[in-house]
Amino acid sequence: KPLVFSGIQPTGNLHLGNYLGAIRKFVALQAENNDCIYCVVDLHALTAQLVHDDMPTQIRSITAAFLASGIDPVKSIVFNQSAVPQHAELAWIFNCVARIGWMERMTQFKDKTGGKNAEQVSLGLLAYPSLMAADILVYRATHVPVGEDQKQHLELARDIAQKFNIDFGAHIRKAGLGTDVLVGDEPVHAYFPMVEPLIGGPAPRVMSLKDGTKKMSKSDPSDLSRINLTDDADAIARKIRKAKTDPDALPLEVAGLAGRPEAGNLVGIYAALSDTTREKVLEQFGGQQFSAFKPALVDLAVSVLSPIGEEMRRLLDAPDHIDAVLRDGGARAREIAEKTMQDVRDIIGFVR
């Protein structure tokens, strides 16, 4: 049976990229009656910045965004990573399975460390993908909804799972665990599943509103480059009105968006916010000027995002409910994770 897992870092404001690339998909997967586990990855946040003045607020605000967007904490499990120490325990084992070269090849690691020397880069930042693999595999989750920027990390999670399965193949069998699968044409007795990234949809990579070749990101110095989940209607309208475009009308077909990154981005955002395709959006708006399209996009964005922002503020006003959700989710997550770790300790041969 499919099991969905994903996580979001409690670092900075959530933006439209996080919402369309991740949270909106979390809600859709829950609506399809999958078992879903959604995590605020507070341990990962230490790799961006070690000391946070407002860590509790950041954790609660991601949780509030989950709830306000429609994640039901009874149906799905919502918790913060540090509440389940099994993530860190499995990550240590994966640190011994994975190779340093695999980590050094990650483009996100290279982007974040470019120009720095090894004295300035934490070991945690290098090992980041190993903890991410542990997040997923400690539940033996099979499906992971993320934005496109996480694709390489999920491929690495598959490599780690596969190497663990091969290295410990005989032990897995001896412990009476796992199932026979083919890796290429080699039979392997596998304990961890191969995770499937869920990246599709019309906006897997939401771009900056100021530069269609740059990803929308929390760290862009210009607030006009992104729409935050907590922006009010005026701010949303202003940012879309000021969004960079080109002088041409919208094309009639998706092929006409090639070489027009800003136009492609806005059409993708419209499609994702209205649960349709870019084709359908162009059937409606193709041939029209941005002066006609932008007001429609403002109305749509405000109608989807304002209620989420309002509900987040309401939840954050009295955080007891949020904290209770995290405690309950943490307890349910620990139970599943501990079962996996008991298996893993047996597979390795730790005496217990």
Q: Which is nearer to ligand TYM, 190 or 209 (CB)?
A: 209
Could you write out the three-class secondary structure of 74-133? CCCEEEEHHHCCHHHHHHHHHHHHCCHHHHHCCHHHHHHHCCCCHHHCCHHHHHHHHHHH
Residue 6's nearest CA partner among 87, 54, 107, 78 is: 78
Instruction: Please tell me the number of Cα atoms within 13 Å of 288 on its side-chain side.
Output: 14
For residue 18, say whether it is annotated as part of any ligand binding site. yes
Does residue 103 contact residue 130 with C-beta atoms inside 8 Å?
yes
Residues in the chain: 352
State which of residues 82, 102, 149, 166 lies at the interface with ligand TYM (CB under 6 A): 149
Q: Which is nearer to ligand TYM, 150 or 172 (CB)?
A: 150
Beta-bridged to residue 38, according to DSSP, are 6, 78
State which of residues 132, 190, 316, 347 lies at the interface with ligand TYM (CB under 6 A): 132
Q: How many CB atoms lie within 10 A of CB 323?
A: 13
For residue 135, say whether it is annotated as part of any ligand binding site. yes
For residue 148, say whether it is annotated as part of any ligand binding site. yes
Backbone angles phi, psi at 143, to 5 degrees: -130, 135
Interface with ligand TYM includes 265 (CB under 6 A)? no
- Shortest reach from residue 214's CB to ligand TYM, in Å: 9
Residue 190's nearest CA partner among 206, 170, 213 is: 170
Query: In this chain, which stretch among 28-36, 53-61, 131-139, 173-181 interacts with ligand TYM, using CB under 6 A?
Result: 131-139
Interface with ligand TYM includes 44 (CB under 6 A)? yes
State which of residues 3, 4, 17, 202 lies at the interface with ligand TYM (CB under 6 A): 17
Beta-bridged to residue 35, according to DSSP, are 3
State which of residues 3, 9, 35, 38 lies at the interface with ligand TYM (CB under 6 A): 9
Interface with ligand TYM includes 61 (CB under 6 A)? no
Q: Which is nearer to ligand TYM, 25 or 189 (CB)?
A: 25
Residues in contact with ligand TYM, counted by CB under 6 A, come to a total of 24
For residue 251, say whether it is annotated as part of any ligand binding site. no
Residue 54's nearest CA partner among 316, 326, 310 is: 316
Interface with ligand TYM includes 150 (CB under 6 A)? yes
Interface with ligand TYM includes 135 (CB under 6 A)? yes
State which of residues 3, 4, 18, 336 lies at the interface with ligand TYM (CB under 6 A): 18
- Shortest reach from residue 205's CB to ligand TYM, in Å: 5
For residue 180, say whether it is annotated as part of any ligand binding site. no
For residue 194, say whether it is annotated as part of any ligand binding site. no
Does residue 260 contact residue 203 with C-beta atoms inside 8 Å?
no
166: Cβ–Cβ under 8 A, 6 or more apart, which residues?
Answer: 183, 188
Interface with ligand TYM includes 201 (CB under 6 A)? no
| 3 state SS of 228 | strand
| 3 state SS of 144 | strand
Amino acid at 82: S
Interface with ligand TYM includes 22 (CB under 6 A)? yes
- Sign of the dihedral defined by the CA atoms of residues 286, 292, 293, 299, in that order: negative
Q: Which is nearer to ligand TYM, 172 or 195 (CB)?
A: 195
Interface with ligand TYM includes 144 (CB under 6 A)? yes
For residue 9, say whether it is annotated as part of any ligand binding site. yes
For residue 215, say whether it is annotated as part of any ligand binding site. yes
Q: Would you list which residues are annotated within the binding site for L-tryptophan?
A: 135
For binding to ligand TYM (CB under 6 A), which residues are involved? 5-9, 17-18, 21-22, 41, 44, 132, 135-136, 144, 146-147, 149-150, 153, 205-206, 215-216
Q: Would you list which residues are annotated within the binding site?
A: 9-11, 17-18, 135, 147-149, 206, 215-219
